[in-house]
Amino acid sequence: MRQYIFGNPLEEFAVVEETDKIIVTSELADKCPVSNMKWEINVEDGWISFTIPLEKNDIVYGLGESMHGINKRGGKYVSYNTDNSHHSDKMHSMYGSHNFIVIDRGCDKSAQGFCFDTPARVVWDIDVDDSGEIVVVCETCDMRLYEISESSENRLLTAYDATRIFRWAIGESYIPPIWAFGFCQSRWGYKTEADVRNVVKKYQEADIPLDMVCMDIDYMDRYIDFTVNKKRFPDLKRFAGEMREEGIHLVPIIDAGVKVEPGNETYDEGVENGFFCTNMEGKPFQAAVWPGMTHFPDFFQASCRKWFGSKYKVLTDCGIDAFWNDMNEPSIFYSEYTKKTSSIKMLINFISKSAAEKYAELDNNAYKDYRHFYHYINGKRVLHHNVHNQYGARMTQAGGEGLEKLLGKGNYLLYSRSSFIGSHRYGGIWTGDNESTWDLLRTNVKHMPSLNMCGFMYSGADTGGFGGNCTRELLLRWLAFSDFTPLMRDHSCMGTRKQECYAFGDTEDFKRIINLRYRLIPYLYEQFVEAAHNGEMYMRPLGFDYPDDRTARVIEDQLMLGQGLMVTPVLEEGATKRDVYLPQDMEMIRFDGYTFTKSEAAKGWHEIEVPINEVVFFKLPNAKVMVTREASKCTRDIDMNDLMEL
Ligand code: GLC
């Protein structure tokens, strides 16, 4: 992998391995030395554009959490982290920005990989209008370009080879404890310990496995980070202990913004030490999020990260070892720059508007806000807009480093909404506020391999959808896919229909589907850990494993998983069958909730029946897949010394 340095970029965050470095001097500026590529540097207007030609059958993989297909051709994308819940192909920006692509040029040419490493805004046009080229405009002149190609490695690379080289260079992905592979129930709306206790009880009554329950913002005192509402959770330590006896880990949320409230410890310490982002006058910048007016910690400062990471102690002291970091794009509802009033009343009106209106405004407002506050980076004031995409990632770094100190490596779960390549070393991600639609179930499938390419292995979507009302059928099919994703969490927004497995009448079908997860956990976790250690991908497009197979190369609704499985989820409403393509002879495995039935299946197309309470997947011949003998009620009860071979 070779690195081209333009101007004065920030210290490396995405990449940790040493690479060959080429400084782009004025001579090079006019003549791009990367084969196929052209670049144009416009210092006056502050951007660099890159143009890469594509052949008709080339496939473009990558871009992590972005919309469109696994093949990114034909799409426009804007890397500019955004809190917007309308996930569709028309949405160009998501919560994370992952500027890594691999161009697969067929089996007789080498694949090429490129990482456009800048925390600034990046606009991608990947053969939109059949232009036959990729145009990437980076809105900065201070950045790094990483190139992976045949010339630097001296051999033809497959798309997977190019990805592996990148994965090695960006360092080992975060590995959570095994219980993080258990099933998690969440909803914005569990307010008290009685609510949480009730969720656990209902799962136990239905005999459905469960390992985690999330605590959304209502557990806090008026949404203030690192506080606990004493009326709702009078003794969190006792309650967390009570839950742990049942095998349950509580997962509280931590938001980026710290409420402006003198007297509150986090606020006072942040102000005293200059840990908050500042406005044009050098005073802490204020913007409204859930708690009302907040200040944003300046996670770019190492001392701020250390401080914020140490604050999790308030909760780890209660026996909590799992967290989700949220609102860290950062999401902004309004500020003095974008709204005339800053009264709390206004905020309350604002958040009770329909989600659609809220987010439409949010998008525009935040864009202006990001040009009104500053960070201190290496002693210099830097406008947030110029480093925007790394903000959430630096919060994950703060949390990850803090939790490692408090609890020890490998002993905590952490996942975040916003991300940037680099934060995959400190925690996982979930893909934000999706909706209860079949389209977004399909999106979940497409996101997984692209995220893995960029290092984000512990990831998953809000199973069943966050917004909107989920149907019984959609939840069952979604769970049947989430059975295989590292994060398996059912999460929904308040105001939507109840989405727990027991909220749809007869629970037997749900039990059967989640039982599969608890049979597979030893294999899934083993494959995950191995993939993380070896810079491999846990979930891959078929084309990565079968680069010579033209059919496999265009399949977007089946994924390879670990060394031995292929996942073939049902993704259409009303379907009881689906077509599956086998790039080689495999074993078909049918799970009915209690037993696995195996049959031989030959290379080629097959129509398979998949009743709503069954899961069908495939195993490579000779793959050793160890599973539990029966589904336990939580991961704690799995006996790793008493497994059986599938
Ligand atoms: C954001 C999160 C969502 C959470 C809500 C309330 O929208 O993405 O998961 O439930 O905030 O905290």
- CATH classification of 2-170, choosing from 1.10.443.10, 2.60.40.1760, 1.10.287.610, 1.20.120.550? 2.60.40.1760
Does residue 433 register a pLDDT over 70? yes
Confidence of residue 340 (pLDDT cuts 50, 70, 90): very low
Residue 86: per-residue pLDDT = 86
Q: Closest Cα to residue 419, out of 134, 173, 160, 101?
A: 173
Active site residue 317: no
Atom of ligand 1 nearest to the CA of 324: 9
Q: What is the mean predicted confidence (pLDDT) over 487-496? A: 97
| Radius of gyration for the alpha carbons in the chain, expressed in angstroms and rounded | 24
Average of pLDDT values for 312-333?
Answer: 97
* Cα–Cα distance, 70 to 73 (Å, whole number): 9
Q: Clarify whether 298 is annotated catalytic.
A: no
**In this predicted structure, what is the pLDDT of residue 452?**
98
Residue 626 Cα distances to 303, 335, 464, 519, 642, angstroms = 45, 54, 28, 9, 10
State whether the beta carbon of 139 lies less than 6 angstroms from ligand 1.
no
Quick: pLDDT tens for 198-209: 999 999 999 999
User: What is the model's pLDDT at position 26?
Assistant: 87
Asked if residue 358 has pLDDT above 80, the reply is no
Q: What is the pTM of this model?
A: 0.95
| Cβ-contact 40, 184 below 8 angstroms | no
Under CATH, to which class is 178-430 assigned?
Answer: alpha beta
Res 356 pLDDT > 50? no
Question: What confidence tens digit (pLDDT) does each residue in 384-403 have?
Answer: 999 999 999 999 999 999 99
The per-residue pLDDT for range 111-128, each reduced to its tens digit, is: 999 999 999 999 999 999
- pLDDT band at 366, cuts 50/70/90? low
- Mean local confidence (pLDDT), 596-621: 98
- In degrees, rounded to 5, the angle at the alpha carbon of residue 640 between the alpha carbons of residues 638 and 641 is 125
Test site for ligand 1: of 433, 463, 489, 492, most ligand atoms within 8 A of the Cβ: 433
pLDDT on residue 643: 98
What is the mean pLDDT of the segment spanning 423-444? 98
Mean pLDDT throughout 617-632?
97
The mean pLDDT value for 546-575 works out to: 97
The per-residue pLDDT for 152 is: 54
Query: What mean pLDDT is predicted for residues 459-484?
Result: 98
Q: What integer is the mean pLDDT of 570-591?
A: 98
Residue 382's φ and ψ, nearest 5 degrees, are -125, 130
Section 282-286 average pLDDT:
96
329 included as an active-site residue: yes
178-430 shares the fold of 2-170: no
Domain boundaries, the chain: 2-170, 178-430
Selection from 575, 642, 640, 646 nearest residue 617 by Cα: 646
Looking at the chain, the whole-number percentage of residues with pLDDT higher than 90 is: 91
Is residue 536 within 6 Å of ligand 1 at its C-beta?
no
